[in-house]
Amino acid sequence: MKITSIKQQVKRADRYSVYVDEKYAFSLSEGELLAQGIASGQEIDKQRLRELKESSSNDKAYGNALRYAVMRPRSLWEMRTYLGRKQVEEPVAMAIMDRLQRNGLLDDLGFARAWVANRRLLKSTSKRRLVLELKQKHVPEHIIDEAMQEDDASERDVLRELVEKRRARYTDNAKFMQYLARQGFSYDDIKTVLEESGDQ
């Protein structure tokens, strides 16, 4: 068998189609193409073809995981779940995650920091709610603790912002307090902030 041509794909310019004996056989990323050292005119046997097809499958799975990782920071659990949905075999999934971690693209602490910073920008979120959200992403507790220690937002200032934004929606003070409690703020903080704003 002979590799008769290698063509850049039209829809996926980062991948190359490899033809064996004039028929499409598999595709590889540019990096994997170079790593495998294959070229047009090369003779290969059935065993080598099987190896290259397996490499193609693993390479494609890594490319998909890479795109998933760069869309936004991901927790290790999110990536593991994603690879599971894509039916990537466990040893391959572990190798992909290890590679992403070595390249600085998968990191629970980085994810937790980004999550907190992003939520701080978008919403008035209590520390308790942030901790719960990170736990739902299966971030280890010691990493959550570290990320939250770095968060210097004042809980009462965050609550004041939320009260200002939401006050008009609630005519019933008891219901408003219940809403604020559901957002993870403590009773003492809610009482203090509402008293300050003249709502008590």
CA torsion 97-100-102-105 (nearest 10°) is -130
pLDDT in tens, 177-199: 899 998 889 888 888 888 887 66
For the segment 106-125, the average pLDDT, to the nearest whole number, is 91
Mean pLDDT value across the chain: 91
- Per the structure block, which two tokens stand in for 123? 């919403």
Q: What per-residue confidence (pLDDT) applies to 93?
A: 96
164's CB contacts (< 8 A; 6+ apart) are 197
Q: What is the pTM of this model?
A: 0.76
pLDDT in tens, 127-142: 999 999 999 999 999 9
Q: What per-residue confidence (pLDDT) applies to 135?
A: 96
pLDDT at 13 over 90: no
Closest CA to 183 of 161, 152, 168, 150: 161
Q: What per-residue confidence (pLDDT) applies to 152?
A: 86
Q: What per-residue confidence (pLDDT) applies to 170?
A: 82
Q: Give the C-alpha separation, 119 to 122, whole Å.
A: 5
Query: Are 134 and 112 spatial neighbours (Cβ–Cβ below 8 Å)?
Result: yes
Closest CA to 159 of 117, 182, 189: 189
pLDDT in tens, 157-180: 888 888 888 888 887 888 888 999
Q: What per-residue confidence (pLDDT) applies to 113?
A: 95
Q: What per-residue confidence (pLDDT) applies to 199?
A: 60
Residue with tokens 């008590």: 200
Q: Give the C-alpha separation, 189 to 163, whole Å.
A: 11
Task: With residue 163 as reference, give the H or E element that holds it.
Answer: helix 155-166
pLDDT at 5 over 80: yes
pLDDT in tens, 46-85: 999 999 999 999 999 999 999 999 999 999 999 999 999 9
Q: Give the C-alpha separation, 141 to 158, whole Å.
A: 23
Q: List the beta strands (DSSP E) in the chain.
A: 3-8, 15-20, 23-29
* Percent of the chain predicted with pLDDT > 70: 98
User: How far is CA 100 from each of CA 33, 63, 90, rounded to the nearest angstrom?
Assistant: 19, 11, 15
Closest CA to 64 of 44, 26, 40, 92: 92
